[in-house]
Homo-oligomer: A and B are copies of this chain.
């Protein structure tokens, strides 16, 4: 079976010009060229084109695609690498979906983006508050850390926080006890999450002040109006606070 340039273009959803371009740059030569100069493509060429279009969709340059196709001694390796790329791309999109979805909800409820609040303690918008409570250096270091991250990294971090909040809400709804193993493991995760922020007591291994900070944070979840609704309702916030207090007292 063979196809003319137009037939192949139509089937692939591209133009004949693109195929001629690929021929010229040596990316995809027709399987046969008629004595009249006409280009004809066979199924092998079609398969190659499919791979090319796949990679192009991922934003790869034509030269990069050519390299991949050339270096590909083992087709299996190429495909495996390809699956990896696709999975990464999917995960990235998945995260973006959740992020946008969250932004949408926040917008609808008229609230500020939750995570801006979550970062309240270490966001420059709350500088005075932080400085008075944890000192100038804690503010500086944590602030620099945050602004040193790329948007992608920030988003990933926020996503981790989102997941944590979601886990808390689920646990609270399940009406288990704040002292239960599950709740305590969530608290541990919460503290680990906090300790990623440099400059804070938990990150610096200052046990006394870490305990104080975790308890303070728990109280804020309940009392501070800026956190209102973050853990769904008052019961949720209370659950988180209790769990954090217990964890601070017994396991830190």
Contact = CB atoms under 8 A, between A and B. Distances in A.
Interface of A: 1, 7, 10-13, 46, 49-50, 53-54, 57, 59, 75-76, 79-80, 82-83, 86-87, 89-90, 93-94, 96-97, 100-101, 103-104, 107-108, 124-125, 147, 149-152, 154
A90 B87 contact: no
Contacts of A10: 150
B75 A100 contact: no
Number of copies of this chain that the complex holds: 2
Nearest to A8: B151
B80 A151 contact: no
A191 B97 CA distance: 37
A76 B11 contact: no
A147 to B, nearest CB: 7
B89 A93 contact: yes
A79 B86 CA distance: 24
Given A90-B90, A100-B82, A75 B107 contact: yes
B83 A100 contact: yes
Nearest to A59: B57
Given A50-B151, A107-B75, A86 B80 contact: no
Contact of A87 (B54, B79, B97): B97
A97 B104 contact: no
A13 B150 CA distance: 6
Nearest to A82: B100
Nearest to A108: B76
A139 to B, nearest CB: 13
A100 B90 CA distance: 14
A83 B95 CA distance: 11
